[in-house]
Amino acid sequence: MHMSDALLSPAVGVTFWAGTLGTIAYCSKKMKENLDEKMIPLMGVTGAFIFAAQMVNFTIPGTGSSGHLGGGMILAIILGPYAAFIVMASVLTIQALFFADGGLLALGCNIWNLGIYPCFIGYPLIYKPIVQKGMSPKKILVASLLSVFVGLQLGAFSVVLETLFSGRSELPFGTFVLLMQPIHLAIGVVEGFITAGVINYVKAARPEILESIAEMRPLSSEIKVKKVVLALLAIAIIIGGIVSWFASSNPDGLEWSIERVYGKPELPEHETGIVALLRAVQERTAFLPDYTFKKKETLKEQETTGKEEVASAKGEEAPRSDANAWPNVEAGTSVSGILGSAMMLSLIFLIGYGIKAIKKKGAKRRNGISHPAG
Amino acid sequence: MTHHIIDFKDVFFRYPDGTEALKGVSFRITHGESIGLVGANGAGKSTLLLQMNGYLLPSSGFINIGDLELTKKTRQDIRKKVGVVFQNPDDQLFMPTVYEDVAFGPLNLGMSAERVIDRVNSSLQTVGCLDLREKPPHHLSGGQKRAVAIATVLAMEPDILVMDEPSSDLDPKSRRYLMRLLKGFKHTKIIASHDLDFILEVCERCLVIKDGRIVADGTVSDILTNQSLLEENNLELPLSLQKTHIMDASAKGGLLPDPSHLHSDSINRETGMATAASETCGVMEGTLK
Amino acid sequence: MDFDKEYFNLGVLDTLSYKNTLIHRLDARTKVIATFAFIVTVVSFPKYEIAGLIPFFLFPAVIFSLGDIPFWFILKKVLVVSVFAVFIGIFNPLFDTHVMYDFLGIPVSGGWVSFFSILLKFFLTMCSALLLISTTSFPGICHALRKLGIPEIFISQLLFLYRYIFVLMEETLRMVRARDLRSFGKRGQGMSIFINLLGTLFIKTIERAERIYHAMLSRGFSGTIHFVKRDSLRKGDFLCLSITGVVLYIFRTYGIVSLIGKQAERMF
């Protein structure tokens, strides 16, 4: 499933965008070395193929419901991991723009979720090793099923983490996981069969196609297990840093899961150092406006309704006070809020309508003067 | 003007899977000639065309285009002289806009930005599609795509123009327009087509290819009136020439389709020049934007 | 997800993007940057924010009217894709039940507030993405991304992808129609037929790639695609970006809605 903008916080969105862009740059660099000229039109057209293929539906045997193809694994098998990641990113970009699938900020997450795992984990660590020892249709099927399964599970889990770290949804970690993983298990089985099916079909009908494309791949497309493990470690460290920052400033959201994992509501080792630094950055630049701004607005409201006790708390630090930022039952503010909203919306509507009316008048005037053209 | 001559000397070509597509093809084309290439499906027309700009190289024999013998090294240069328009314009228009497609060739030739702009504009002007400059190819009609595909090749100012089935998928108006356009070109033209009426109109000389060999080489009036030759090659007389035969046959009481559409077709041909109106690109003479 | 309908929608948006209005004429970079800034700002509001989001509707309103974009068409598309966000968001009222507001006597739980916030954010962000593609041709966006630093290899193949989506979708459409006309009920639509369809389509795709490559070679291609240099940043672009930045900042920092509301309250 695709991540959605509305469930994201800027921090998570930008982080994953950074990861995605970095990977795109890396893949592009890798492709440039020893690029076969034919690769670029091939990649483009294959991407269009995946796009079209995703729109064809079919009935899933046994359930009668319809399903669709994801495509990351097929791409990785045919084009190799670097090209496949680029193509997958492109397909998702088109979907995000033309079909509003997820959103533009979430696009960074979606490319990561649907691209990294099949291309850099599923394919090199699972599919290739299995198929290396002989490419019988059965082996291909097993390899496809396993690699797709792992890829989708990781992708689904990433959605859970992204939603969790963003703090917009109240869905607890456990429930979310229980929701996402089984669904993606089913999707994984179907996609694994399709992937294997298409590969086997093409191998049977036109084996030279897959071979000739394989020859076109950049030579250094061998991804070593060591590299992958190192990369995963690096990612884990970064995520750990973000987690701990969030943990100390948003206890409510992550408390539950952190407690489950560590047995304590916070990670004391990280209290100083990274977290303190981030907090300082936050207060100075308001890079993540979440907590600072919320405080300011709450204070404004509280001042006007006369709750001065809280105002004095302004001096206290920390976004840890997210709990305090919730106003208690504020009858006064809700009325002014609604009134203000209504007026604002009417104003906006008038502006929009006014612009249209002015345009129409302008067009009428122009049409009236010009002669009928050929 | 030796640099505009195409010379095939005993050319053989075998595909990787063993199919012998050309079995000793020889002919000579001089500057300014317009040649029609006809034959049954599978006779080797497409293979022959693919040799013209070096996409395929002969297995044996020689091909000379201009002063250059066709080899792996020279084919890039030969491609500057020979422009090939493919059967399917969607394969040829691969850039996001018409402008970029027509500019593709000149940019690859290393021209300066201003010259590129000039080339693009004049090529599009020639085919009557200047107002389609900013459009993406998938917004064009079949006839427009065909015209723009020709423009993409014209922009490289080749001496020799090779076309594969140029009139297929065109509605009669577009086809009429294309005929007029091609008759106006001074390039050496080689046109492979099943549309014998088209070739009758546009070409002067005709090569018939069968089973990888040239079996006939003569003027269009000689070849395309030779009913037995044509029928041996899964072809028949051009429809416009058949009219008289059909009229004769129906007078003898045979079962024949209503020939009146042939009659109106010939009227169109005579007055067609004047009314080649609303050209495929929707640009009337004199109302170019 | 009916194939025909999706293809049609794709075509409508694509056609819209080639219009010629004030917004369309802005440089693609301006619009991409502005859209991103808009989305990040909207999304930066905390969980329970509702009032602060209202002023942001000004942006879509202005673009809809200046750009001549059909409102209901876009609205329908937004509704269609809202499934996931709504599905996840609806859990908020279930899990967050502490009462936050007293709305004319009815207690409203935090969960409902955050759910509504999600809906508002969803609408704003989805609209802005669709408005971006309706007012900027896709090749324009690609060139903007290229000028903003995305690698050329990525951009080149992205442009090819865009170009051939329509061709491939038509080919697929023909095959799908042929399949559907020969399958009665669900019998012909099973997986094995689907796999055959995809396999055939894939082979055709590769053959097409071969022909395209040949066409490129025939026109002198030697490895790199040269892009036509057209620099088009104008005064209007800088003006637009600055105004957008300032307005976004103001809307984000100041509770305009509550200010207006309080004034109104005092007046009545």
Go through the domains of chain B in sequence order and give each one's CATH number: 2-237 (3.40.50.300)
- Nearest one of C32, C65, C16, C9 to C244, comparing CA atoms: C32
Residues from chain A that touch B284, judged by Cβ atoms under 8 A, are: 374
- Nearest one of C39, C149, C129, C145 to A13, comparing CA atoms: C39
Assign A116 a pLDDT band (cuts: 50, 70, 90).
very high
Which residues share a beta bridge with B23?
A: B12
Q: State yes or no: pLDDT of A59 exceeds 70.
A: no
Contact C137 B138 (CB under 8 A): no
Please tell me whether residue B41 adopts helix, strand or coil conformation.
Answer: coil
**Tokens 């962000």 identify what position?**
C125
Q: Is B94 on the interface with A (CB under 8 A)?
A: yes
Interface list for chain C against chain B, based on CB atoms closer than 8 Å: 14-15, 18, 137-139, 142, 159-160, 162-164, 166-167, 208, 211-212, 214-222, 225-229
Instruction: Kindly give, in sequence order, each residue whose CB lies less than 8 Å from that of residue C261, ignoring residues fewer than 6 positions away.
Output: A335, A336, A337, A338, A339, A340, A341, A343, C51
Please measure the distance between the N-terminal and C-terminal CA atoms of chain A and give it in whole angstroms. Answer: 51
Q: State yes or no: pLDDT of C63 exceeds 50.
A: yes
Average pLDDT of the residues in A42-68: 76
Instruction: Kindly give, in sequence order, each residue whose CB lies less than 8 Å from that of residue A83, ignoring residues fewer than 6 positions away.
Output: A27, A31, A39, A43, A75, A217
Q: State yes or no: pLDDT of C133 exceeds 90.
A: yes
Q: Is B134 on the interface with C (CB under 8 A)?
A: yes
The phi, psi pair for C100, rounded to 5°, reads -105, -45
- Measured distance CA(A117)–CA(B287) in Å, rounded: 57
Cβ count near A272 (within 10 Å)? 9
- Nearest one of A90, A93, A89, A88 to A77, comparing CA atoms: A88
Q: Which of residues 120-159 of A touch C (CB under 8 A)?
A: none
Instruction: Report the gap between the CA of B115 and the closest CA in chain A (Å).
Output: 26
- Measured distance CA(B248)–CA(A339) in Å, rounded: 90
Comparing CB atoms, the residue among C96, C151, C197 nearest residue A170 is C96
Average pLDDT of the residues in A243-254: 48
Q: Is B160 on the interface with C (CB under 8 A)?
A: no
Q: Is C47 on the interface with A (CB under 8 A)?
A: yes
pLDDT at position B43 is 86
Please give the torsion angle defined by the CA atoms of residues B70, B73, B75 and B78, in that order, rounded to the nearest 10 degrees. Answer: -80
Supply the DSSP string of A243-261, one letter for each residue. Answer: HHHHHHH-HHHHHHHHHHH
Amino acid at B237: L
- Measured distance CA(A269)–CA(A159) in Å, rounded: 27
Please measure the distance between the N-terminal and C-terminal CA atoms of chain B and give it in whole angstroms. Answer: 39
**Subunits adjacent to chain A (3 or more Cβ pairs under 8 Å):** B, C
Q: What is the DSSP-derived secondary structure letter of residue B96?
A: S
pLDDT at position A130 is 87
pLDDT at position B5 is 85
pLDDT at position B275 is 37
Inter-residue contact A335 to C265 (CB < 8 Å): yes
Assign B132 a pLDDT band (cuts: 50, 70, 90).
very high
Residues from chain B that touch A373, judged by Cβ atoms under 8 A, are: 287
Burial of B17 (0-12, 13-18, 19+ CB in 10 A): exposed
Contact A373 B287 (CB under 8 A): yes
Task: Output B154 or A275, whichever has higher pLDDT.
Answer: B154
Reported ipTM: the value is: 0.90
The pLDDT tens digits of the residues spanning C93-130 come to 888 778 877 776 777 888 888 898 999 999 999 999 99
- Measured distance CA(B288)–CA(B285) in Å, rounded: 7
Stated as kind and residue range, the H or E segment containing B160 is strand B160-164
Comparing CB atoms, the residue among A35, A170, A304 nearest residue C92 is A170
Inter-residue contact A361 to A354 (CB < 8 Å): no
The pLDDT tens digits of the residues spanning A310-357 come to 333 333 333 333 333 333 334 445 666 677 778 888 888 888 888 888
Token pair for A362: 């302008």
Bridge-based pairing of strands B34-39 and B188-192 is parallel
pLDDT at position A290 is 38
Q: Which CATH class is domain A5-223?
A: mainly alpha
Using alpha carbons only, how large is chain B's radius of gyration in Å?
20
Instruction: Report the gap between the CA of C47 and the closest CA in chain A (Å).
Output: 5
Inter-residue contact B123 to B154 (CB < 8 Å): yes
Question: A–B: how many Cβ contacts below 8 A?
Answer: 4
Comparing CB atoms, the residue among B86, B97, B156 nearest residue C215 is B86
- Nearest one of A298, A295, A291, A290 to A337, comparing CA atoms: A298
Contact C215 B97 (CB under 8 A): no
- Nearest one of A9, A166, A338 to C101, comparing CA atoms: A338
For chain B, give the mean pLDDT.
Answer: 82
Stated as kind and residue range, the H or E segment containing B12 is strand B6-14
Inter-residue contact A337 to C261 (CB < 8 Å): yes
pLDDT at position C223 is 78
Average pLDDT of the residues in B51-67: 89
Q: Is C258 on the interface with A (CB under 8 A)?
A: yes
How far CA B183 is from CA of B179, B204, B234, in Å, comes to: 6, 11, 27
Q: Find the angle CA(B28)-CA(B29)-CA(B32) to the nearest 5 degrees.
A: 165
Q: State yes or no: pLDDT of A115 exceeds 90.
A: yes
Tell me the residue length of chain A: 374
Q: Is C7 on the interface with A (CB under 8 A)?
A: yes
C78-91: b (≥16 Cβ within 10 Å) or e: beebbebbbebbeb
Domain ranges of chain A: 5-223, 330-368
- Nearest one of A199, A175, A180 to A113, comparing CA atoms: A180
pLDDT at position A344 is 83
Q: Is B55 on the interface with A (CB under 8 A)?
A: no
The pLDDT tens digits of the residues spanning B182-191 come to 998 888 999 9
pLDDT at position C89 is 85
Alpha helix ranges (H) inside chain A: 10-32, 39-55, 72-79, 81-98, 106-111, 128-132, 137-166, 173-205, 207-216, 225-249, 251-262, 274-285, 289-304, 308-311, 331-369
Lowest mean pLDDT among A152-156, A232-236, B12-16: A232-236
The pLDDT tens digits of the residues spanning C138-153 come to 999 999 999 999 999 9
Instruction: Kindly give, in sequence order, each residue whose CB lies less than 8 Å from that of residue A252, ignoring residues fewer than 6 positions away.
Output: A322, A323
How far CA B8 is from CA of A8, B30, B54, C67, in Å, comes to: 67, 12, 13, 58
Please give the torsion angle defined by the CA atoms of residues A353, A357, A363 and A367, in that order, rounded to the nearest 10 degrees. Answer: 140
- Measured distance CA(C23)–CA(C7) in Å, rounded: 25
Assign A60 a pLDDT band (cuts: 50, 70, 90).
low
Inter-residue contact C98 to C92 (CB < 8 Å): no
Q: Is B139 on the interface with C (CB under 8 A)?
A: yes
Contact B94 A374 (CB under 8 A): no
- Nearest one of C187, C195, C207 to A137, comparing CA atoms: C195
Lowest mean pLDDT among A163-177, C91-105, C165-179: C91-105
pLDDT at position A359 is 82
Q: Which of B88, B138, B156 to mutate to test the interface with C (most CBs of C within 10 A)?
A: B138
**Tokens 């995520």 identify what position?**
A239
For chain C, give the mean pLDDT.
Answer: 85
pLDDT at position B100 is 92
Contact B136 C14 (CB under 8 A): yes
Q: State yes or no: pLDDT of C155 exceeds 70.
A: yes
Nearest-Cα residue of chain C relative to residue A39: C157
